[in-house]
Chains A and B, each alone.
Chain A
């Protein structure tokens, strides 16, 4: 049960991080480089899951993804599948990724982007060649935060994915079940396992980042 939960948690958190990276970067790029009236509204909307209690987020997701909700497009259900767990983790992790990336992107000198454009790079290539590499640290930090948040997601996941062992029971949910069943020693062991996993992942990412940094010369 625990190994299922562990693997599921890693899968869910990884995919949620991937999703959040793509969406978060797109929104961050959009907001950092344009100035339109609804800008602060978009920012607030994206930041909302950070302020709301996860169970409230879960409730809204359930309304959205459940039957009769606007997002229930497929004939098959999203609710109570591991995909719903991914969505729950992604939604709560998005604000973290967004804020971190947006700050990093805004800090990139716009003149560099203009220079790249003048040298023949269309906007997407400018982003790929200049903006993102120079904003790398902030983006990576955002991804790490998103992964950690996604790994520990509980309230929203419980609501919208259910607590089905082997299918949607992530590590936090497994711990919850163990505690409910009064199996405290097992619960404690699982907590230690989860901490180790989170710790290990963050450490690994840190290492990667440091190695990449030392490979390139430091630049101002």
Chain B
């Protein structure tokens, strides 16, 4: 490089260094893990986020059995449905309700024949372990000492819908509704209760059993069954594999795993 006293004016060294830094990080990252989607990929399953624990075990068990790995994409069911509608390269959709799956089937985005209920959710009434007030039924929520109750937002969360149905069927909706705090999802609804910001929460059994609180099951006849359905995505290049995994989910082994995490089997309609 020419070194004359009156050399070209200094560029901005720090800016160049920063750019160099980012490029280094980028390339280091690029070298360590595969960046671009490969052709022979594992199955990609979009599953509702409240199924994380259950399906991580489900995926591990499936891989042990068949040697085929499964990758999961956990998010809210509504978001997952939107993604599939817009062409996300997902093979199987495991929702927290049935409506989203049926909707996609009607639009041809999911194979209608593959739609089936794989589990039934149960609703619980949850309070902190150190709660002074015993809250075991929805009627207990009528107590004026119960100031706030959280549920997932019924606008888009199936368990929120069930919670609202339960409160309405039990005839306590008018009194309870002003006390309601809506969580973005069931996890958030539980967090409100765990942190003491609300006195009680209506959340899925699957959340309650891994938590540190007290809970009781809400009778199933108070709400429409929280059926959870799955469906194979129509554009998937791995439909057979997807169907195989779906079969595993609905098999005795799969249902047992689901049962561990607070999901009732699909067929059963009897009360607890």
Which A residues lie at the B interface, using CB under 8 A?
Answer: 4, 7-8, 10-11, 14-15, 17-18, 21, 55, 59, 62-63, 65-69, 72, 76-77, 79-82, 128-129, 132-133, 136, 139-140, 143, 147, 158-159, 162-167, 176-177, 179-182, 204-205, 208-209, 211-213, 215-216
Cβ–Cβ contact A181 & B22, under 8 A: no
Which B residues lie at the A interface, using CB under 8 A?
Answer: 9-15, 17-19, 21-23, 25-26, 28-30, 32-33, 35-37, 44, 46, 49-50, 52-53, 56, 71-75, 79, 82-83, 85-90, 187, 207, 210-211
CB-CB under 8 A from A132, the residues of chain B are 12, 15
CA distance A205 to B19 in the complex (A): 11
| CB<8 Å pairs between A and B, sample of 12 | A14-B22, A66-B88, A67-B86, A80-B73, A80-B89, A80-B90, A81-B36, A139-B15, A159-B82, A159-B83, A166-B33, A167-B71
CA distance A62 to B78 in the complex (A): 14
Cβ–Cβ contact B25 & A10, under 8 A: yes
CB-CB under 8 A from A209, the residues of chain B are 14
Cβ–Cβ contact B87 & A17, under 8 A: no
Q: What is the distance, in angstroms, from B264's C-beta to the closest C-beta of chain A? A: 20
Q: A77-B89, A162-B83, A164-B73 are contacts. A208–B18 as well, Cβ < 8 Å?
A: yes
Q: What is the distance, in angstroms, from B29's C-beta to the closest C-beta of chain A? A: 4
Known: A80-B83, A166-B33. 10 other contacts (CB 8 A): A10-B25, A21-B19, A76-B37, A140-B15, A158-B79, A177-B49, A181-B52, A181-B53, A181-B56, A204-B21
Cβ–Cβ contact B87 & A66, under 8 A: yes
Q: What is the distance, in angstroms, from B63's C-beta to the closest C-beta of chain A? A: 14
Q: What is the distance, in angstroms, from A62's C-beta to the closest C-beta of chain B? A: 5
- The residue on B at minimum CB distance from A67 is B87
Q: A7-B29, A215-B13 are contacts. A180–B82 as well, Cβ < 8 Å?
A: no
CB-CB under 8 A from A163, the residues of chain B are 73-75
Q: What is the distance, in angstroms, from A155's C-beta to the closest C-beta of chain B? A: 10
Cβ–Cβ contact B11 & A133, under 8 A: yes
Q: Determine which of A77, A159, A216 lies in contact with B79 in the assembled complex, contact meaning CB atoms within 8 Å.
A: A159
Cβ–Cβ contact A59 & B49, under 8 A: no
- The residue on A at minimum CB distance from B11 is A133
CB-CB under 8 A from A63, the residues of chain B are 86
Q: What is the distance, in angstroms, from A162's C-beta to the closest C-beta of chain B? A: 5
CB-CB under 8 A from A140, the residues of chain B are 14-15, 18
Cβ–Cβ contact B75 & A11, under 8 A: no
Q: A76-B37, A133-B12, A182-B53 are contacts. A14–B25 as well, Cβ < 8 Å?
A: yes
Cβ–Cβ contact B32 & A7, under 8 A: yes
CA distance A65 to B21 in the complex (A): 29
CB-CB under 8 A from A143, the residues of chain B are 15, 18
CA distance A66 to B13 in the complex (A): 40
Cβ–Cβ contact B14 & A11, under 8 A: no
Cβ–Cβ contact A80 & B88, under 8 A: yes
Cβ–Cβ contact B89 & A208, under 8 A: no
- The residue on B at minimum CB distance from A16 is B22
CB-CB under 8 A from A205, the residues of chain B are 18
Cβ–Cβ contact B73 & A162, under 8 A: yes
CB-CB under 8 A from B79, the residues of chain A are 55, 158-159
Q: Determine which of B19, B82, B85, B211 lies in contact with A18 in the assembled complex, contact meaning CB atoms within 8 Å.
A: B19
CA distance A62 to B90 in the complex (A): 14
Cβ–Cβ contact B89 & A7, under 8 A: no
CB-CB under 8 A from A158, the residues of chain B are 75, 79
CB-CB under 8 A from A66, the residues of chain B are 83, 85-88
Q: Determine which of A14, A139, A176 lies in contact with B23 in the assembled complex, contact meaning CB atoms within 8 Å.
A: A14
CB-CB under 8 A from A176, the residues of chain B are 49
CA distance A181 to B23 in the complex (A): 34
Q: What is the distance, in angstroms, from A133's C-beta to the closest C-beta of chain B? A: 5
Q: What is the distance, in angstroms, from A172's C-beta to the closest C-beta of chain B? A: 13
Cβ–Cβ contact A165 & B90, under 8 A: no
Q: What is the distance, in angstroms, from B168's C-beta to the closest C-beta of chain A? A: 28
Q: Determine which of A11, A17, A65, A133 lies in contact with B10 in the assembled complex, contact meaning CB atoms within 8 Å.
A: A133
Q: Determine which of A18, A76, A177, A211 lies in contact with B74 in the assembled complex, contact meaning CB atoms within 8 Å.
A: A177
Q: What is the distance, in angstroms, from B62's C-beta to the closest C-beta of chain A? A: 16
CB-CB under 8 A from B19, the residues of chain A are 18, 21
